[in-house]
Amino acid sequence: MAKQSPNKRVIPIQAVTDPNAKVYPRSISGIFQNWRIVFVWLTQIIFYGLCWLPWNGRQAVLFDLEERRFYIFDLVLWPQDTIYLTFLLLLSALALFLFTAVAGRLWCGYACPQTVYTEIFLWIEKWIEGERPQRIKLDAGPRTAEKIRKKTLKHSIWLLISLWTGLTFVGYFTPMRELLGSIVTGDIGAWEIFWVLFYGASTYGMAGFLREHMCKYICPYAQFQFVMFDRDTLIIAYDAERGEARGSRGKNVDPRAAGLGDCIDCGICVQVCPTGIDIRDGLQLECIGCAACIDACDQVMDKMNYPRGLIRYSTENAVAQHYTRPQIISRAFRLRTLVYLVAFLTLSAAVAWSLATKVPLKVGIQKDRSVLYREGNDGAIENTFQMHLTNASEQDRSFRISVQGLPGIRLQGTDTASVAGAGMQDLSLTVSAEPGSLDSGSHPIIFAIEDTANPDTRVEQKATFWMP
């Protein structure tokens, strides 16, 4: 029989008797629940608030697809900057690998939109329909006027939140104030209506109905993240060695003398679980790492005067080999995580340097292909070029244009151009040289474009000059 590597594990999918059975999570308080509340508020203040933040006379964060410009505070990205999008995706992937290998499903448990909106919808559900026993009773009971009133109120609030969420989402692509104005005047576009409704319906469906099924069966991240786990990854772990044999007992009974572990088999850890699993069955694909079962079990341990931590954040190796906290932390720095960390830091530094030194001017030059060269009125040989200037800053700027690279070469006509902030301008430029001053054929030249107010903003572009 093949020997199993100590770092290779198979994560079981819990045998669920009825996978479609509705889960009614019981309310819980505790340190991790407090953190979940903090993250719900934090993420929602950012999401709902950022699209209202003004910056340089426009919205601070705006992905203007129509103008093909992305604004992120002072940063303005143009279609030519898609390389940054590639870097962003690479950085996100590296951060995901690193974070998952070290901290497991912390993202799922605290900050994932699915978790956050499910939590918000559950707060409303509990506020209107009551605690777990009342909700179960209400759903199982007959259709009374009271039941219809409660369900109507709950779904109305869910729908309002969902619609506002859809509106906020679209507000990152169409300026939020304009979007609201267009709703009032009835000028809102068909695509905007579609995306508001689509995003709103997705929020309503996923947070109101699909809930844990999204995490269990649909979310691709949930499916593949276990590949990034090893036995030193942080997980929510039930300490079976300490907890078993489980069983009820009186508070004053010595569990060891009664042949019992610390688990009193109260089932509260299962009742608070938003995915409806029993963490005592071991690490499971369905566990989103929300830590509700830790808070629940710690309360039970307090009541029984047992030490906390029967269910706790730990690693599989730490539980099996009784690691101390410093040992757990030291094992976070292992070869795999260090490789991810170095790659992440190196790429982050490269992107930061590139953004910091980014010149807010883009230049395109094209030789007039219809006439290779011509003789001017003064007898000089002339070549014509089309120059496309893009002012990638948000301030109006003037640029000085010069041409270099050949003896006696010069620019005819105007050598300056003014371009409005975030604007573009096309110029026709004529470059000339004295006849006989150069050999026949092509010669490399350089156009230099420099901001008149800031010489550091300078771009050089190569071109070709033709002589007869």
Residues at the contact surface with ligand SF4, assessed by CB under 6 A: 236, 243, 246, 263-269, 272-275, 277, 279-280, 287-293, 296-297, 300, 310-311
Smallest distance, Å, CB 261 to ligand SF4? 9
Q: Which is nearer to ligand SF4, 166 or 289 (CB)?
A: 289
- How are beta strands 69-72 and 61-64 bridged, if at all? antiparallel
Q: Which is nearer to ligand SF4, 236 or 445 (CB)?
A: 236
Q: Which is nearer to ligand SF4, 274 or 360 (CB)?
A: 274
Residue 468 near residue 434, CB atoms below 8 Å: no
Task: Compute CA distances 92 → 87, 107, 113, 350, 352, whole Å.
Answer: 8, 13, 16, 15, 15
Smallest distance, Å, CB 179 to ligand SF4? 37
Q: Which is nearer to ligand SF4, 249 or 400 (CB)?
A: 249
Residue 405 near residue 411, CB atoms below 8 Å: no
Q: Which amino acid is at 163?
A: L
Q: Which is nearer to ligand SF4, 311 or 419 (CB)?
A: 311
Residues 6+ apart with CB under 8 A from 268: 26, 296, 297, 299, 300
Q: CA end-to-end span of the chain, whole Å? A: 82
Smallest distance, Å, CB 10 to ligand SF4? 18
Smallest distance, Å, CB 333 to ligand SF4? 25
Torsion sign over Cα 158, 160, 166, 171: negative
Residue 391 near residue 360, CB atoms below 8 Å: yes
Smallest distance, Å, CB 284 to ligand SF4? 7
362 bridge partner residues:
390
Q: What is the DSSP string of 341-406?
A: HHHHHHHHHHHHHHHHT--SEEEEEEE-SS-S-EE-TTS-EEEEEEEEEEE-SSS-EEEEEEEESS
Smallest distance, Å, CB 250 to ligand SF4? 14
Q: What is the CA radius of gyration of the chain?
A: 32
Q: Which residue in 341, 113, 90 sits closest to 215, CA to CA?
A: 113
Smallest distance, Å, CB 290 to ligand SF4? 4
Torsion sign over Cα 145, 150, 152, 153: positive
Q: Which is nearer to ligand SF4, 62 or 296 (CB)?
A: 296
Smallest distance, Å, CB 278 to ligand SF4? 8
Q: Which is nearer to ligand SF4, 25 or 208 (CB)?
A: 25
As a dihedral over the C-alpha atoms of residue 19, residue 20, residue 22, residue 23, rounded to 10 degrees, the angle is 20
Smallest distance, Å, CB 18 to ligand SF4? 17
Q: Which is nearer to ligand SF4, 287 or 401 (CB)?
A: 287
Question: Side-chain half-sphere of 185: how many Cα atoms within 13 Å?
Answer: 9
Q: Which is nearer to ligand SF4, 98 or 108 (CB)?
A: 108
Q: Which is nearer to ligand SF4, 94 or 296 (CB)?
A: 296
What DSSP element (H or E) covers 299? Answer: helix 292-304
How far apart CA 23 and CA 21 sit, in angstroms, is 6
Smallest distance, Å, CB 91 to ligand SF4? 28
Residue 320 near residue 58, CB atoms below 8 Å: no
Task: Compute CA distances 231 → 215, 288, 314, whole Å.
Answer: 22, 17, 10
Smallest distance, Å, CB 259 to ligand SF4? 16
Q: Which is nearer to ligand SF4, 200 or 261 (CB)?
A: 261
- How are beta strands 424-433 and 381-391 bridged, if at all? antiparallel
Q: For 263, phi and psi rounded to 5 degrees?
A: -80, 120
